[in-house]
């Protein structure tokens, strides 16, 4: 997390840095800051909270200079206040950092013993103080930065700026992504290509352990051993124009509303109308020899994997395990060399998912990335990378990426089932048609927005909520609860309907909304029994179902949201829409910051 940017430009750097930081604010928004060099003189401005506070500060206290660095912070060490905001500075050097320096205490102790006085509790201040100590020993700026980088353990993307150096940035990467942008007589550094998109589409990605000396006219990259490294410059397509909110008040609503279009695009990549088949381009796997699928991810992406587990086992008859990435490798699970490991991530940079991938890399037959950001670390490090075609997702709460992940995973499952002889052409045609019907069904369910908005009048008053689902709808109940808690701050839990009576039913009373996600499928009657158990105890049931389900459910349901009928397999994709809208409208009613909920960041690049 944290977004960093650096510019060696031909124009005043401050407004360009602010503009780039706007595109990085999804990575953290606890504080922001910039530093510039003007005729050799280093200056900086920092402000607590959102970027807008820094922009306001710069109106009153501008800084000049065509070279600069900027940072938007997600706090790890030290409170989110001005003193802990980046860039950190020690006299002649300023640094922005994304990641965690794990040995900072040891370095700090050594520096303190040698007389350095620290201003903050942050790990990053150690980097600038250490660099300054090397400058004091007489090392050049480049040598001081190189010596500093050598001492660091942990994860970092760093960008250094120096007093007296109008044409120099030092960039370094280990564990956190970093891109170098090539302009016309200008050079840039950024956490991702999106940050640099309006300036350039020519990007060189630093690899693990690389550090780079950047000037307006040159780029010299060295690897972890200090050897000159040749890294390819690529042309990256990121449409920065698509990052506005359009007619919507929030990115989240824009991204919810985009789903019929982006899903149609994604489905178009996997289905062939002429043959009625489903296939995944470049999925070079012989599924007849695969003995297990392991799926690893975090948060919403983990819940997409949890849906796909039902599909892999029921439809393709392949045993499937799903793990939360932050726990996976600590179990030290034995991996079969006939298995496939899949890593699902919107950003493609989530530190725990990346670490899980590295754990599996040499142990399994194939590693597969299912990512939204095509140039991300997870995408680049997997044997096979499947793009989900969701387009840029800015809202911190994942919406369209979730449904697009489900589409990509469904296509993999169908391909695997066909290859293993578990699916005949008629069933494949049926699923092909069901997939292609989805965008229309999503459009229909988006038409219920005002009803869902009205339902949230009472929901917004609740302190707690339960979400229930059975079978493939169970992970969706977890997703509904995750969405609600992360943007409305209402405590919400998702449960398998049948698990309710094993404990959580003790929570149920007349104040507890219980949201039941249940299309009229083979499991519906059992879910209705669980609903009755809730209603018998005064619980308020909000049932999300189809007309047939509503007709069967009987009396006593508090409120109902009617969905169009959908193929059983794809119900979690369609029912994601009301889950997202319930969370959205509840949060809007509560007045929380929908796009940038407190304490969160979109790209979680620390473990």
Query: What residues act catalytically?
Result: 2, 602
DSSP H/E element including 439: helix 425-446
For residues 248 and 428, give the distance between their C-alpha atoms in angstroms, rounded to a whole number.
37
Helical pair 400-419 and 571-590, crossing angle rounded to 10 deg: 170
Q: Which is nearer to ligand F6R, 221 or 576 (CB)?
A: 576
**Residue 126 neighbours by CB under 8 Å, 6+ apart:** 101, 104, 107, 108, 111, 118
Q: Which is nearer to ligand F6R, 296 or 505 (CB)?
A: 296
Q: Which is nearer to ligand F6R, 84 or 398 (CB)?
A: 398
Q: Which is nearer to ligand F6R, 169 or 252 (CB)?
A: 252
Looking only at residues 149 through 168 of this chain, which bind ligand F6R when binding is defined by CB under 6 A? none
Q: Which is nearer to ligand F6R, 298 or 409 (CB)?
A: 298
Q: Which is nearer to ligand F6R, 413 or 482 (CB)?
A: 482
65 phi-psi bin (left φ>0, alpha ψ -120 to 50, beta other): left
To ligand F6R, the closest distance from the beta carbon of 453 in angstroms equals 20
Site string for ligand F6R, 351-380 (x = CB under 6 A): --x---------------------------
Q: Which is nearer to ligand F6R, 339 or 346 (CB)?
A: 346
Q: Quick one: which of 67, 259, 377, 398 contacts ligand F6R (CB under 6 A)?
A: 398
Q: Quick one: which of 294, 346, 456, 530 contacts ligand F6R (CB under 6 A)?
A: 346
Q: Quick one: which of 301, 417, 442, 465 contacts ligand F6R (CB under 6 A)?
A: 301
8 A C-beta contact, residue 98 and residue 3: yes
To ligand F6R, the closest distance from the beta carbon of 25 in angstroms equals 15
339 touches ligand F6R (CB under 6 A): no
CA-wise closest residue to 309 among 399, 157, 413: 413
Report DSSP state, residue 331.
Answer: G
Closest chain position to ligand F6R (CB):
299
Give the phi and the psi of residue 450 in degrees, each rounded to 5. Answer: -70, -35
Strand 464-469 vs strand 491-496: parallel, antiparallel, or unpaired? parallel
Helical pair 141-151 and 123-136, crossing angle rounded to 10 deg: 140
The C-alpha angle 178, 183, 186, rounded to 5 degrees, equals: 95
347 touches ligand F6R (CB under 6 A): yes
To ligand F6R, the closest distance from the beta carbon of 41 in angstroms equals 39
Site string for ligand F6R, 464-483 (x = CB under 6 A): ------------------x-
Half-sphere exposure in the Cβ direction for 390 (13 Å, CA): 30
Looking only at residues 167 through 196 of this chain, which bind ligand F6R when binding is defined by CB under 6 A? none
350 touches ligand F6R (CB under 6 A): yes
* Cα→Cα distances 577→45, 249, 568, Å: 42, 18, 16
3-state SS class at 27 = helix
8 A C-beta contact, residue 214 and residue 182: no
8 A C-beta contact, residue 13 and residue 36: yes
442 phi-psi bin (left φ>0, alpha ψ -120 to 50, beta other): alpha
For residues 356 and 34, give the distance between their C-alpha atoms in angstroms, rounded to a whole number.
34
Q: Which is nearer to ligand F6R, 408 or 604 (CB)?
A: 604
604 touches ligand F6R (CB under 6 A): yes
Q: Which stretch binds ligand F6R (CB under 6 A): 197-205, 293-301, 580-588, 590-598?
A: 293-301
Q: How many residues bind ligand F6R (CB under 6 A)?
A: 14
Q: Quick one: which of 298, 341, 441, 561 contacts ligand F6R (CB under 6 A)?
A: 298
Looking only at residues 495 through 514 of this chain, which bind ligand F6R when binding is defined by CB under 6 A? none
Q: Which stretch binds ligand F6R (CB under 6 A): 65-73, 292-300, 327-335, 542-550?
A: 292-300
Q: Quick one: which of 345, 456, 530, 596 contacts ligand F6R (CB under 6 A)?
A: 345
DSSP H helices, 447-570, are 449-459, 474-488, 524-536, 547-553
The C-alpha angle 292, 293, 294, rounded to 5 degrees, equals: 115
Q: Which stretch binds ligand F6R (CB under 6 A): 112-120, 344-352, 496-504, 523-531?
A: 344-352
Site string for ligand F6R, 425-464 (x = CB under 6 A): ----------------------------------------
For residues 225 and 211, give the distance between their C-alpha atoms in angstroms, rounded to a whole number.
10
271 touches ligand F6R (CB under 6 A): no
2 touches ligand F6R (CB under 6 A): no
For residues 202 and 590, give the distance between their C-alpha atoms in angstroms, rounded to a whole number.
43
8 A C-beta contact, residue 133 and residue 116: yes
To ligand F6R, the closest distance from the beta carbon of 396 in angstroms equals 6
**Residue 454 neighbours by CB under 8 Å, 6+ apart:** none
Q: Which stretch binds ligand F6R (CB under 6 A): 57-65, 220-228, 346-354, 553-561?
A: 346-354
Report DSSP state, residue 85.
Answer: P
To ligand F6R, the closest distance from the beta carbon of 141 in angstroms equals 35
Q: Quick one: which of 179, 293, 382, 397 contacts ligand F6R (CB under 6 A)?
A: 397
403 touches ligand F6R (CB under 6 A): no
The C-alpha angle 154, 157, 158, rounded to 5 degrees, equals: 105
Q: Which is nearer to ligand F6R, 486 or 595 (CB)?
A: 486
**Residue 138 neighbours by CB under 8 Å, 6+ apart:** none
Q: Quick one: which of 486, 521, 546, 595 contacts ligand F6R (CB under 6 A)?
A: 486
C-beta atoms surrounding 489 within 10 Å: 15
To ligand F6R, the closest distance from the beta carbon of 506 in angstroms equals 28
To ligand F6R, the closest distance from the beta carbon of 353 in angstroms equals 5
To ligand F6R, the closest distance from the beta carbon of 193 in angstroms equals 16
8 A C-beta contact, residue 399 and residue 256: yes
8 A C-beta contact, residue 37 and residue 166: yes
Residues that bind ligand F6R (CB under 6 A): 298-301, 345-347, 350, 353, 397-398, 482, 486, 604
């Amino acid at each position: 997390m944290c977004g960093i940017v650096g510019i060696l430009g031909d124009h005043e750097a401050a407004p360009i840095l602010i503009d780039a930081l706007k595109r990085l604010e999804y990575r953290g928004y606890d504080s922001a800051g910039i530093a510039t060099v003007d005729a050799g003189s280093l200056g900086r401005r920092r402000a607590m909270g959102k970027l807008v506070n820094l922009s306001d500060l710069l109106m009153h206290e501008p800084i000049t200079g065509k070279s600069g660095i900027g940072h938007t912070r997600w706090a790890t060490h030290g409170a989110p206040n001005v003193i802990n905001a980046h860039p950190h500075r020690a006299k002649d050097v300023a640094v922005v950092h994304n990641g965690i320096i794990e040995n900072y205490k040891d370095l700090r102790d050594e520096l303190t013993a040698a007389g350095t006085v620290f201003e903050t509790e942050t790990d990053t201040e150690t980097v600038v103080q250490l660099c300054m100590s090397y400058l004091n020993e007489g090392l050049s700026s480049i040598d001081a930065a190189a010596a500093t980088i050598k001492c660091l353990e942990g994860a970092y993307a760093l960008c250094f700026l120096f007093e007296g150096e109008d044409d120099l940035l030092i960039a370094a990467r280990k564990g956190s992504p970093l891109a170098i942008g090539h302009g016309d007589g200008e050079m840039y550094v950024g956490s991702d290509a999106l940050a640099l998109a309006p300036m350039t589409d020519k990007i060189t990605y630093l690899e693990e352990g690389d550090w780079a000396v950047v000037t307006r006219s040159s780029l010299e990259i060295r690897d972890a051993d200090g050897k000159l490294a040749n890294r390819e410059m690529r042309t990256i397509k990121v449409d920065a124009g698509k990052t506005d909110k359009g007619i919507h008040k929030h990115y989240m609503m824009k991204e919810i509303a985009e789903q019929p279009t982006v899903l149609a695009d994604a489905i178009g990549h996997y289905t062939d109308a002429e043959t009625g088949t489903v296939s995944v381009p470049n999925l070079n796997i012989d599924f007849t020899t695969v003995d297990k699928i392991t799926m690893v991810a975090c948060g919403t992406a983990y819940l997409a994997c949890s849906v796909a587990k039902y599909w892999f086992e029921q439809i393709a008859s392949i045993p499937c395990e799903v793990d939360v990435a932050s726990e996976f490798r600590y179990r030290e699970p034995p991996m079969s060399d006939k298995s496939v490991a899949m890593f699902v991530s919107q950003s493609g940079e989530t530190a725990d998912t990346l670490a899980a991938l590295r754990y599996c890399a040499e142990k399994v037959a194939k590693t597969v990335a299912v990512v939204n950001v095509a140039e991300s670390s997870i995408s680049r490090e997997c044997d096979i990378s499947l793009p989900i075609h969701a387009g840029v997702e800015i809202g911190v709460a994942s919406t369209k990426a979730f449904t697009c992940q489900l589409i990509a995973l469904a296509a993999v499952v169908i391909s695997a089932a066909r290859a293993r002889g578990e699916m005949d052409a008629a069933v494949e045609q049926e699923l092909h048609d069901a997939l292609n019907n989805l965008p229309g069904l999503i459009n229909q369910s988006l038409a219920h927005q005002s009803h869902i908005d009205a339902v949230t009048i009472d929901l917004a008053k609740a302190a707690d909520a339960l979400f229930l689902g059975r079978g493939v709808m169970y992970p969706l109940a977890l997703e509904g609860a995750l969405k609600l808690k992360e943007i409305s701050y209402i405590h919400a839990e998702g449960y398998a309907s049948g698990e309710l009576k094993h404990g959580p039913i003790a929570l149920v009373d007349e104040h507890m909304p219980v949201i039941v996600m249940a299309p009229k499928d083979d499991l519906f009657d059992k879910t209705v029994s669980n609903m009755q158990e809730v209603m018998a105890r005064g619980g308020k049931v909000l049932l999300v179902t189809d007309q047939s389900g509503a007709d069967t459910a009987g009396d006593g349901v508090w409120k109902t949201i009617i969905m169009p009928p959908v193929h059983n397999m794809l119900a979690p994709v369609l029912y994601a829409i009301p889950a997202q809208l319930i969370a959205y409208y509840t949060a809007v009613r509560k007045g929380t910051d929908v796009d940038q909920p407190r304490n969160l960041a979109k790209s979680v690049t620390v473990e």
